[in-house]
Structure 1
């Protein structure tokens, strides 16, 4: 997956002693909540899987609770506008930061679609697998099997969440949506039964900080960016905007659906000078 390099990355000031104290307190609490929740989820999944198979009626509630607690531990303000859809379908959103995972999970029960190498990320890969993330490998030989898996999960009631930009940004813009992804919604009659819900993620930086404070792009490494957020003396806030779902059947093809979804996601983003 390509990485967006549209702007130079901001220079980061060294973390001060009080900042390291906040890193320890917030990081410790975040680790306990996140991996404690993971252990509980894995234990419950031992019962849930034999009873319900592909369906997951219980464990997504743990994921949602953990993500709400994570935002509270970080001190990031949180607001939701609109409502998650209940109809069979998928969700598409803009991608500005690793924090999107917490922000988008906190207000709905979704399953992310990610590139396959995320499964190998230390710590993160375990969490992604346990919470039902679907990993996609860009290999034509596996396209049919992956398509079948996606269809099965959508028909099972999973709301798969995609980032059609294909990369994260500085959290202040929406890149063109890649229409290739949307082709999956026009196969084997899915277009007759499913909806797509566009969602906008809006970050507001802490007062006095670079407006791109929460953005994660270019060659930024996860570790330093996480430390910066944990060390911040003041935090900003994030808004999630749920738009009206789109009936796939109302569109002639993937390009039209991708364009309309992109327009709706961009419409809620504040004008940036």
Structure 2
């Protein structure tokens, strides 16, 4: 479905993003050469990664691959602020699958991802190369194990990113934060900081975002078929000590209180409600009696 906003002269406006719009011959060619570039990058980066791992524990190769992939797909990253490199818990807004490529390239972060991603044949393998921590929102009995895995990841000095909205939006809205995965910060592991992050796709945000009824594959094809490149600004906001805001809800509230004004400064206007007639991508209603 299309987003609810006034018409714009931009060629990549939300009104021009229907899922069934044909990509055309030139679009198919762009998809082809971009995917060929990804295959070539994998053929080079994967062996290098395993060779590196025989000598050192941490490998910079996944970050290099994500940088190449983001650029091949058209993203030109502009980093604002200073990302913490270790012992950091990033909390970010979320628009699309491209967010993962961009944040991984900009900071070397690992991610918290849905368990279904880990089961995907190729995507799951790539995610594991980047030390992704897989969680299942439906596994209420396994929450303690998931929290333990997050704690172990932070203990290894990783940077970890969570998208607490639990789904993707349109770049003009910010949903309430779900706080289940922030239980790892109750209490915070020694030395770990929280750093809010804002992803800003500029005028292209609504067009490039993956939400509503659009299937994921259609979104990928549409983005890869697009001509040219686009700017993606990644704002690493000032970090804060989670010990100053005891409890996951207080930590989430503090992160959101910093992300909202940063997004509004980028947009030049207040955020708007995210009104959808269909469930957002990746969203599943909570079971009665569960907590956010």
Q: TM-score range by the shorter chain?
A: 0.7 to 0.9
Any gaps of 5 or more consecutive residues in structure 1?
none
Asked if 1:31 corresponds to 2:39, the answer is yes
SS of corresponding position for 2:70: helix
Aligned to 1:131: 130
2-structure distance, mates of 1:75, 1:6: 23
Aligned to 1:116: 115
From 228, 232, 235, the counterpart of 2:229? 235
Q: Structure 1 residues 108, 11: closer, same or farther in 2, change over 3 A?
A: same
Aligned to 1:148: 148
SS of corresponding position for 1:106: helix
Equivalent pair of 1:171/1:216 in contact (CA under 8 Å): no
User: How far off its partner does 1:27 sit?
Assistant: 1.9
1-structure distance, mates of 2:246, 2:147: 20
Tell me which moved more, 161-170 or 219-228.
219-228
Any gaps of 5 or more consecutive residues in structure 2?
5-13, 273-292
1-structure distance, mates of 2:105, 2:52: 20
User: How far off its partner does 1:43 sit?
Assistant: 4.1
User: How far off its partner does 1:128 sit?
Assistant: 0.6
Count how many residue pairs are aligned between Structure 1 and Structure 2: 254
From 11, 21, 25, the counterpart of 1:17? 25
SS of corresponding position for 1:91: strand
2-structure distance, mates of 1:32, 1:266: 39
RMSD of aligned residue pairs (Cα, Å): 2.3
Q: Structure 1 residues 35, 212: closer, same or farther in 2, change over 3 A?
A: farther
Tell me which moved more, 5-14 or 97-106.
5-14
Aligned to 2:192: 194
Q: Structure 1 residues 86, 119: closer, same or farther in 2, change over 3 A?
A: closer
